[in-house]
Amino acid sequence: MTPRCAAALAAALVLGACKDPAIPGRLGVNPFADTVIIAADTTVTLFHWPATRLPVRFWADPRSNMRFLVERAVAVWQYQFLYGELRGVVVSDSTAADILVRWRDSVPPDVPPDTIPAPNSCGGITTFDYDSSGLALVGPVHVSLTVLTGGSPASPGQLQDCMRRVSIHELGHALGLLRHSQFDGDIMFGSPIANYPSVYDRRTVETLYHAQPTVQPPPP
Amino acid sequence: MKSVRRLGGWAARATALVTLCLTVYPPNRLTAQVSFHVAAGVRHSSALVHDSVVTGFDLRPTLAPALLVSVRDLLRPGWSTDVTLDVAPSGLRRQETGGSFDVGSITAVALTVGLQRHFGAGVSARLGVGGLRYAASQTGVFREGSGGIIPLGTIAATYALPLTFARRRQLEIEARYDVHQFITPALRTEGFRSGRPVHRMAILLQIGWGGGTTP
């Protein structure tokens, strides 16, 4: 191989690898911002945990298998991100947590899940404590999971299956997905029947974490 | 969540093979034509991924140490060939408007074969090809794996220092450039259709044993 040949090969090597790939289009992002009315003004509420506050600290009610449910839900949401936008950790001190997850009323037994669906057997609620301006949180986000008694009776296994879905759904709210999806294939559907976030849930949370928030997180 | 840094099976096997070769065929038993070289330095890498979600951002390895070991054989006067194992552990950061954020760590392991031309006055040039594999914890762009071994091309320019002690130690300064295409299964799932060219540049200080004098 002569120097000229080597130089030609080297040039081909560089030129052949210079083209950037096209950035994929991401269609199907669900609405994630909320609107609140504060003193007759409508304010867009857009919240996510900023990169400077990672890892987000979760505290789980020590009763039954709440810690497992929270760790699982955190891992599921973390998995949705390609570029490390979210990291979460479960802490044992509730005063050092950003998100508190509790049982609301009764505590379901820790048994293997039964995947035969039992509609409306469990539910959850996520609440944010805003300051008077509505543009900053003043304390940790509260999530509670509850056993519903109004629907068809559910076995302990069916309850656990329901809690797996609802814990992911409620932690989705706590991470900033403030609105419900209109599609029943999404985990953020009002009464979730999907077991995991859909591609649309993923695109929605990914977009949220690159959007400019209007609400500041609570003090650390 | 704990970030795990590990070498993949491929890299471990390559390292074991080089170690085995050096054990049964140490430098002091090399023939006059075969030499063993170790190089260390720093490496800069261009972005692995450029993406845009609301705004554009890059995923980029940090400036990182590079460690290379190679076995070189003299083909004929002025020409030599080599096999080189190149290991570069680095941090990984997301760079976007408003900041740069830690995303974890990766280790790039490359094995190349090269052809080197010695031009005299201590100057030589090397052209090489081989494969590269990233080892990282299974999160983010690596959540569905690294995508296996990626073809790699490399060119380098080497200067042997014209000093007595440097000649005795075969001390050389090397500027090494390589390029490969980066894509992972997770990026394909996200909709990327082809890899992004990743350009890496390293400045290395190299020391050698055996092989007599540089041709």
Q: What is the pLDDT of residues B18-35, one digit of tens each?
A: 555 554 455 554 556 788
**Minimal CA separation from B54 to chain A, in Å:** 6
Count of CB pairs separated by less than 8 Å, A with B? 94
How large is the average pLDDT for residues B155-177?
88
Q: How many domains does chain B have?
A: 1
CATH number at residue B203: 2.40.160.20
In chain A, what is the straight-line distance between the N-terminal and C-terminal CA atoms, in Å?
A: 64
pLDDT of residue B214: 46
Instruction: Evaluate whether B70 touches B210 at the Cβ level (below 8 Å).
Output: no
Q: Domain range for residue A181?
A: 31-208
Q: Which residue has the higher pLDDT, A34 or A2?
A: A34
In chain B, what is the straight-line distance between the N-terminal and C-terminal CA atoms, in Å?
A: 53
Q: Is residue B124 part of a domain?
A: yes
Q: Is residue A60 part of a domain?
A: yes
Instruction: Evaluate whether B154 touches A32 at the Cβ level (below 8 Å).
Output: no
Chain B, nearest residue to A91 by Cα = B1
Q: CA A182, A37, A186: angle at the middle one, nearest 5?
A: 15
Structure tokens at B63: 């400036």
Q: Is residue B154 part of a domain?
A: yes
Q: Which of the four pLDDT bands, split at 50, 70 and 90, describes residue A198?
A: very high
pLDDT of residue A3: 54
How large is the average pLDDT for residues B135-158?
94
Is the pLDDT confidence value at B2 over 50?
A: no
Q: Is residue A1 part of a domain?
A: no
Is omega for the bond preceding A55 within 30 degrees of 0, making it cis? yes
Q: Domain range for residue B48?
A: 9-25+35-210
Nearest to A83 among B140, B180, B194 (CB): B140
B96-129: pLDDT as tens digits: 987 899 999 999 999 999 999 989 888 999 999 9
Torsion of CA B118, B122, B128, B130, to 10 degrees: 130
Mean pLDDT of chain A: 87
Q: Is residue A5 part of a domain?
A: no
Q: Is A178 helix (H, G, I), strand (E, B) or coil?
A: coil
Q: Is residue B202 part of a domain?
A: yes
CATH number at residue A106: 3.40.390.10
Q: Is residue B30 part of a domain?
A: no
How large is the average pLDDT for residues A29-54?
75
A78·B194 Cβ contact <8 A: no
Q: Provide, as residue numbers in chain A, all residues whose Cβ is less than 8 Å from the Cβ of B195.
A: 21
Chain A, nearest residue to B139 by Cα = A79
B26-59: pLDDT as tens digits: 555 455 678 899 999 999 999 999 999 988 999 9
pLDDT of residue A6: 55
Q: How many domains does chain A have?
A: 1
B67-86: pLDDT as tens digits: 999 999 988 888 999 999 99
Q: Is residue B145 part of a domain?
A: yes
Q: Which of the four pLDDT bands, split at 50, 70 and 90, describes residue A116?
A: confident
pLDDT of residue A22: 84
Instruction: Evaluate whether B94 touches B55 at the Cβ level (below 8 Å).
Output: no
Q: Is residue A115 part of a domain?
A: yes
A150-179: pLDDT as tens digits: 767 889 999 999 999 999 999 999 999 999
Q: Which of the four pLDDT bands, split at 50, 70 and 90, describes residue B4?
A: very low
pLDDT of residue B3: 40
A71: phi then psi, degrees, rounded to nearest 5? -60, -40
- Burial A127-141, CB ≥16 within 10 A → b, else e: ebebeeebebbeebb
ipTM of the complex: 0.80
Is the pLDDT confidence value at A40 over 90?
A: no
pTM over cut 0.95: no
pLDDT of residue B215: 43
A27–B contact, CB cutoff 8 A: no
Q: Which residue has the higher pLDDT, A45 or A141?
A: A141
Is the pLDDT confidence value at A59 over 50?
A: yes
Q: Is residue B105 part of a domain?
A: yes
Q: Is residue B215 part of a domain?
A: no
How large is the average pLDDT for residues B202-213?
84
Mean pLDDT of chain B: 85
Q: Provide, as residue numbers in chain A, all residues whose Cβ is less than 8 Å from the Cβ of B145.
A: none
pLDDT of residue B19: 53
Is the pLDDT confidence value at A192 over 90?
A: yes
Q: Is residue A155 part of a domain?
A: yes
Q: Is A18 helix (H, G, I), strand (E, B) or coil?
A: coil
Q: Mutating which of B2, B49, B54, B189 best tests the A interface, going by the most A Cβ atoms within 10 A?
A: B54
Which H helix or E strand runs over B82?
Answer: strand B79-96
